[in-house]
Chain A
């Protein structure tokens, strides 16, 4: 496997006057309570993970869990107190100001919860802003920005001011702006949290469509577990600055690592999240009916078919080869069984 695009090793972010000193004394064993007694607040506590090229890592946590702080460490909007961060092999914390600016101008894009558009610039000017900052000529930057306007479906509104747009439209501008420099790494900080539910769903679909096309390396922050399940390749669940679990959506739903994670997974409609391959029985491939289902199907889509059978159903891979089986009772258990059934 090639080198990960983002790599974090034991990243700490601690706010407070003596943060660095206290971190050194603690020998990597940070306890939020003792730190708080000494006037420090732990934002990120020992985060280590990798994000590979084209992957979407969703960091999920409630407010105050340190998820935004983690993102700001990786974009170096704040400096991590301890640990190492590598962006495409470069040690982020060792970059000087100029190199950092260069990295941001060419490799990084970021979308913000409150859109963070410049109020004095029109849609197209906002999108062209990072290009102009880079020193690209006005005409070229505007024409490039117009392409972006089209990409996010805002044609005809390029001369509007942010205040004249709805929230969803404003966030489209934010997305277009973050993509204008064609970054490899895309940071999204709760991009849809400020939107109405219907618009949010529409934007999520739009976002998936874009990602299908662009294949960026993404870190996506959200407090909405459903959103995380819908979008993520992998999910990191954070609490009090600690990453409680980092895994694929299916594995998190089936195997919550801690009590905290379990609480989130309880209400999740499993049939919508889990694939056949997540629940199939690989040991039993004999004595099956005629019906075959693909391992990549979402349970919800094939449940009715499977439940109409009496015998186990064969599960096939992409080459139509039988690799396992699934019993109708298994489906019922998975969907209705609650937590007891989590393999």
Chain B
């Protein structure tokens, strides 16, 4: 009885677990139940039950409601689909002036908006792309195809790669100095001589449109949310869901709205990249000390000056993290949006992965990663740039960067011109190295992969089989064996024990949405894979983080490694694991583990670091040894922050599990991928995405609530 009084929470949890297991054991698996694979779910089956809601017919296999809830939300995807269709094709037809045909044309409003938006995006992308690579579209946009036919000389010639490379190096030098300049130059030269120039520039033109637009929109909306509570309230749920929504899932509805191509990719990228930017802008602005704002006001700032010269610069740290996120998302999307026809490295990467040409995939992936790191560093340097007011500079010193660029343009043009004589019969390598004419290491890597396979096949296979048979299959079976009611009780109970009735209700609503969708079984599989990944990632991340924390330099190094790894687009992680483990669940899980270990490690180090130095000294003076200090002082205090890391780890793991569908998993991701090629996929894709987002949000809610309480309890913030 004493124990009960001493640890009431412990007994509450035990009680919850007992109920959970009791439910699990008392509810038998229905005889007709089996995990449904693939297309079978769309085949009409006389055993299926049906119901009609809002005019939509939903078919499903009926089970005991304690075992699986009926898909009462099954009409939602179909309904979303129909609404989208209606919006695009029938709602509010209006007359619009058509420039090409010189006449009025009737078109639905949404369709017209979408077309105007896409043509604007297309114009922006092509403007940059054709500056870099040459082409006609931009000139056509200002004139017409007829005009081009009459004036065949009118074509943007594109810049020789030497000039672009020099330009990047000079810009990097101006922003940061020699180090970055050399890095920029090397990256560009590498891209060129390895024959990745064209796709790289295509990707770059996509990024140079998507990233600044996302930044501006995010900043603008963040400021609006800061100024108006109402805007914030309206934006908050969107931000929350988008944070845990897999990027895949947005593709499908956007496909319907904006069609296929680079422009659609830009819009989708903005949808994904803007929410974190808004959030970080808001966090940054909120953290500006009130006295700084007053100082700005007393300096005579008007509202605009206060925002642009005081608030935003003071919030720079958080806003920069936002920029970093935007760039990450953009590169990540540069790959994913290849699914909807965006050109560039991402397309090549997907193609190579599809053909199992690991070498080619590796090259493309490396290019994307290098450009991502370069842009990330350049944006950082730009934000930290300082002006020198006192340097007494000569004309040359002040304008040397411009002069160097002009010189490099001239030299580049001359070289390209000379090149046209030197390489008369082949390609002008001084202008552009064609895609298949560069140096390629693909064969080397492919042979390496073959060699690894030949040499270690037995061991890899054995490991693979062991993992799947002994660990993954049983775990999966366990998850699927949970009756829906038991899961619901467990999750809601956990919500109640952690955050009280409010948390319980939120979590209950989120879980019910998934349980009532047609994809509960799939969601369980997604959760099982994510759970496995998260457990492994946290074990590794917490261990590595703790070990690295023991040494200042190791910690700094590890954080640097995390930074770089985080910049890699998520798809890139699939390449090496496919090299080693081929197309299996193991590959996906290992990619998940690698990817999700980044936040686990980072937050562990940061959390341990944030333990105040005074406590360290106090502990040392109490005579603790290193191990005691770690367990008694540092872990308890760092734990809340580490739990936030766990939260991130879960989100990362979910993302990767969904992306893993590309390799072939049987979870929600598989259906999202399938929705991409389904003409009625928009609703399905979106609903699936929301399901995944809700899985993330359930954990997010529980962890955050716990962390906040714990922080209050410990008196840290």
Residues in B284-312 with C-beta less than 8 Å from chain A = 289, 291-292, 294-302, 305, 309-310
Selected from A105, A116, A122, A124, the residue in CB contact (under 8 A) with B292 is A116
Asked if A101 contacts B294 (CB within 8 A), the reply is: no
Asked if A77 contacts B294 (CB within 8 A), the reply is: yes
Give bound CA distance, A114 to B388, whole Å: 27
Asked if B316 contacts A120 (CB within 8 A), the reply is: yes
Asked if B386 contacts A122 (CB within 8 A), the reply is: yes
Question: Which of B291, B298, B314, B388 neighbours the largest number of chain A CB atoms within 10 Å of its CB?
Answer: B298
Give bound CA distance, A187 to B299, whole Å: 12
Asked if B389 is at the interface of the complex by the 8 Å CB criterion, the answer is yes
Selected from B297, B313, B386, B390, the residue in CB contact (under 8 A) with A118 is B313
Asked if A113 contacts B302 (CB within 8 A), the reply is: no
Residues in A133-186 with C-beta less than 8 Å from chain B = 133-134, 138-139, 142, 158-159, 174, 177-178, 181
Asked if A118 contacts B314 (CB within 8 A), the reply is: yes
Asked if A104 is at the interface of the complex by the 8 Å CB criterion, the answer is yes
Which residues of B lie under 8 Å from residue A108 when comparing CB positions? 298
Q: Given the interface contacts A118-B310, A118-B314, A119-B314, does A130 sit within 8 Å of B299 by beta carbon?
A: yes
Which residues of B lie under 8 Å from residue A75 when comparing CB positions? 298
Give bound CA distance, A177 to B296, whole Å: 11
Question: Which residue from chain A places its CB closest to the CB of B300 in the assembled complex?
Answer: A105
Which residues of B lie under 8 Å from residue A101 when comparing CB positions? 300-302
Give bound CA distance, A214 to B668, whole Å: 73
Q: Given the interface contacts A114-B289, A120-B316, A122-B386, does A133 sit within 8 Å of B294 by beta carbon?
A: no
Distance to closest chain B CB from A43 (angstroms): 15
Give bound CA distance, A102 to B295, whole Å: 15
Asked if A118 contacts B298 (CB within 8 A), the reply is: no
Distance to closest chain A CB from B490 (angstroms): 42
Q: Given the interface contacts A114-B289, A116-B289, A118-B313, does A177 sit within 8 Å of B294 by beta carbon?
A: no
Residues in B529-581 with C-beta less than 8 Å from chain A = none
Asked if A129 contacts B299 (CB within 8 A), the reply is: yes
Distance to closest chain B CB from A193 (angstroms): 12
Give bound CA distance, A139 to B309, whole Å: 18
Asked if A110 contacts B298 (CB within 8 A), the reply is: yes
Asked if A104 contacts B291 (CB within 8 A), the reply is: no
Selected from B294, B302, B388, the residue in CB contact (under 8 A) with A110 is B294
Give bound CA distance, A108 to B298, whole Å: 7
Asked if A133 contacts B300 (CB within 8 A), the reply is: yes
Which residues of A lie under 8 Å from residue B310 when comparing CB positions? 118
Question: Which of B291, B388, B389 neighbours the largest number of chain A CB atoms within 10 Å of its CB?
Answer: B389
Asked if B299 contacts A177 (CB within 8 A), the reply is: yes
Give bound CA distance, A105 to B299, whole Å: 6
Asked if A112 is at the interface of the complex by the 8 Å CB criterion, the answer is yes
Asked if B292 contacts A118 (CB within 8 A), the reply is: yes
Q: Given the interface contacts A101-B302, A122-B386, A133-B301, does A116 sit within 8 Å of B316 by beta carbon?
A: no
Which residues of A lie under 8 Å from residue B300 when comparing CB positions? 101-102, 104-106, 130, 133-134, 181
Asked if A109 is at the interface of the complex by the 8 Å CB criterion, the answer is yes
Question: Which of B300, B305, B386, B388 neighbours the largest number of chain A CB atoms within 10 Å of its CB?
Answer: B300
Give bound CA distance, A122 to B316, whole Å: 15
Contact with B along A90-118 (1 / 0, CB 8 A): 00000001000110111011101111111
Asked if B289 contacts A104 (CB within 8 A), the reply is: no
Give bound CA distance, A231 to B386, whole Å: 39
Q: Given the interface contacts A118-B314, A120-B314, does A133 sit within 8 Å of B299 by beta carbon?
A: yes
Give bound CA distance, A120 to B309, whole Å: 10
Which residues of A lie under 8 Å from residue B389 when comparing CB positions? 124, 138-139, 142
Residues in B379-396 with C-beta less than 8 Å from chain A = 386, 388-390
Selected from A116, A120, A121, A134, the residue in CB contact (under 8 A) with B294 is A116
Asked if B314 contacts A112 (CB within 8 A), the reply is: no
Question: Which residue from chain A places its CB closest to the CB of B301 in the assembled complex?
Answer: A133
Which residues of A lie under 8 Å from residue B297 when comparing CB positions? 77, 104
Give bound CA distance, A113 to B390, whole Å: 30
Give bound CA distance, A97 to B299, whole Å: 14
Which residues of A lie under 8 Å from residue B309 when comparing CB positions? 129, 133
Give bound CA distance, A129 to B302, whole Å: 13
Asked if B298 contacts A77 (CB within 8 A), the reply is: yes
Distance to closest chain A CB from B299 (angstroms): 4
Asked if B292 contacts A104 (CB within 8 A), the reply is: no
Question: Which residue from chain B places its CB closest to the CB of A178 in the assembled complex?
Answer: B298
Question: Which of B289, B295, B299, B316 neighbours the largest number of chain A CB atoms within 10 Å of its CB?
Answer: B299
Which residues of B lie under 8 Å from residue A115 when comparing CB positions? 291
Which residues of A lie under 8 Å from residue B390 when comparing CB positions? 158-159
Selected from A116, A139, A142, A158, the residue in CB contact (under 8 A) with B295 is A116
Distance to closest chain B CB from A101 (angstroms): 5
Which residues of B lie under 8 Å from residue A138 when comparing CB positions? 389
Which residues of A lie under 8 Å from residue B292 when comparing CB positions? 116-118
Which residues of A lie under 8 Å from residue B386 when comparing CB positions? 122
Distance to closest chain A CB from B588 (angstroms): 44
Q: Given the interface contacts A77-B297, A133-B309, does A116 sit within 8 Å of B302 by beta carbon?
A: no
Q: Given the interface contacts A116-B291, A122-B386, A133-B309, does A109 sit within 8 Å of B314 by beta carbon?
A: no
Give bound CA distance, A174 to B295, whole Å: 9
Give bound CA distance, A124 to B389, whole Å: 9
Asked if A112 contacts B294 (CB within 8 A), the reply is: yes
Give bound CA distance, A113 to B289, whole Å: 12
Which residues of A lie under 8 Å from residue B299 when comparing CB positions? 104-105, 129-130, 133, 177
Give bound CA distance, A138 to B289, whole Å: 27
Distance to closest chain A CB from B567 (angstroms): 24
Give bound CA distance, A113 to B314, whole Å: 18
Which residues of A lie under 8 Å from residue B388 when comparing CB positions? 159
Question: Which of A75, A108, A129, A142 neighbours the largest number of chain B CB atoms within 10 Å of its CB?
Answer: A129
Question: Which residue from chain B places its CB closest to the CB of A75 in the assembled complex?
Answer: B298
Which residues of A lie under 8 Å from residue B295 when comparing CB positions? 110, 112, 116-118, 174, 177
Distance to closest chain A CB from B51 (angstroms): 50
Give bound CA distance, A172 to B302, whole Å: 25
Which residues of B lie under 8 Å from residue A181 when comparing CB positions? 300
Distance to closest chain B CB from A75 (angstroms): 6
Which residues of A lie under 8 Å from residue B316 when comparing CB positions? 119-120
Asked if B298 contacts A109 (CB within 8 A), the reply is: yes
Question: Which of A72, A97, A104, A174 neighbours the largest number of chain B CB atoms within 10 Å of its CB?
Answer: A104
Give bound CA distance, A196 to B243, whole Å: 45
Known contacts A114-B289, A116-B295, A121-B313, then 10 further A-B pairs from the complex at CB < 8 Å, ordered by chain A residue:
A102-B300, A104-B297, A104-B299, A117-B292, A120-B314, A129-B309, A130-B299, A130-B300, A138-B389, A174-B295
Pairs across A and B, CB under 8 Å, 9 listed: A72-B294, A105-B299, A105-B300, A106-B300, A108-B298, A114-B291, A122-B386, A138-B389, A139-B389
The 8 closest A-B pairs by CB, nearest first: A105-B300, A130-B299, A116-B295, A116-B291, A110-B298, A104-B300, A120-B313, A112-B291
